[in-house]
Copies of this chain bind each other. A is one copy, B any other.
Amino acid sequence: MTATPAQLIASIAQLRRTLGEVRGRGQSIALVPTMGALHDGHGRLIENARRESDCVVVSIFVNPIQFDRHDDFDRYPRPLSKDVAFCAARGVPVVFAPPVEEMYPRPQSAFVEVTRVTDHLCGQFRPGHFRGVATVVLKLLNIVQPDRAYFGEKDAQQLAVIRRLVDDLNVPVKIVEVPTVREADGLAISSRNQYLNEEERRVATVLHQALRRAETLIAADTKHAAEIRKEVLPLFEGHPEVRLEYFEIVDPDEMQPVDRITGPVRVAGAIWIGTTRLIDNMLCRPLGSKAGSAPAP
């Protein structure tokens, strides 16, 4: 890792000037959009971005319009100087961390809505969430104008929303999907894991266990989603401190529930442990379905 000092930029105009110079040198630009509280999952995004582009921009912005609960927005961690050091240690030259007033100088009137892909999973339980995500991601893409932008597979529905907005709105950027990074026991790394106490952290792995069980069943050619749910859902019942929000099997492109599994599917779940909400998902392939039959990244 190069120990370049990361340049911390808060203003859109200054960022555009800096990136105009980068572009003028014929260098390619990668964007890694984050809400900060950076962890190894973000680290993986940055590694991929550095490998494929000349100049990596990490944006750090806790986007108010994607939070459906005010308390969640308020308590979301914002360890900015730690995050900047994290980026610097990974050779990121530019960190863009605008204040809310820079991104929303007046009440927002223009929004990006992605229909259909947002009907199920998190979209069903977090009203307005994906509208806020799609809107801020498009803003960031327009501000940075990167050649590539990097997103984690952990937020699979978010990725489907972003792919869709990029395709449907002809945004000139390549979206790169990076696999989920997990703890040793399988828990997907997330900024929200730090909310968990020791006991909550221990039971949090149930979501990953449920996904693995579904993966095994699908690989063993269990064809009906209902059958898989019937096998998997009892796993959650063993943990009274866990409240299951959803556990669904959907097609990986449009995120629509699948009854009969004939190709790769996305299995996705959301649970609450106390006041903390965790999500995770896996792409699962039935027997005989080739890796190549998944939607192209």
Contact = CB atoms under 8 A, between A and B. Distances in A.
Interface of A: 12, 16, 108-117, 134-135, 138-139, 142-143, 145, 164-165, 167-172
Contacts of A114: 109-111
Interface of A is mostly: mixed
Given A142-B171, A169-B138, A113 B111 contact: yes
A108 B168 contact: yes
A103 to B, nearest CB: 9
Given A16-B172, A109-B117, A110-B112, 20 more contacts: A12-B170, A108-B168, A109-B115, A109-B116, A109-B164, A110-B113, A110-B115, A110-B134, A110-B165, A110-B167, A110-B169, A111-B112, A111-B113, A111-B114, A112-B112, A112-B113, A138-B169, A139-B170, A143-B170, A145-B172
B115 A142 contact: no
A109 B168 contact: yes
Nearest to A111: B113
Nearest to A166: B110
A116 B110 CA distance: 9
A16 B113 CA distance: 26
A113 to B, nearest CB: 5
Nearest to A107: B116
Nearest to A144: B170
A113 B131 CA distance: 10
B109 A139 contact: no
A117 B108 CA distance: 11
A172 B116 CA distance: 29
20 contacts: A12-B170, A108-B168, A109-B117, A109-B164, A110-B112, A110-B115, A110-B134, A110-B165, A110-B167, A111-B112, A111-B114, A112-B113, A112-B169, A113-B113, A135-B169, A139-B168, A139-B169, A142-B169, A142-B170, A145-B172
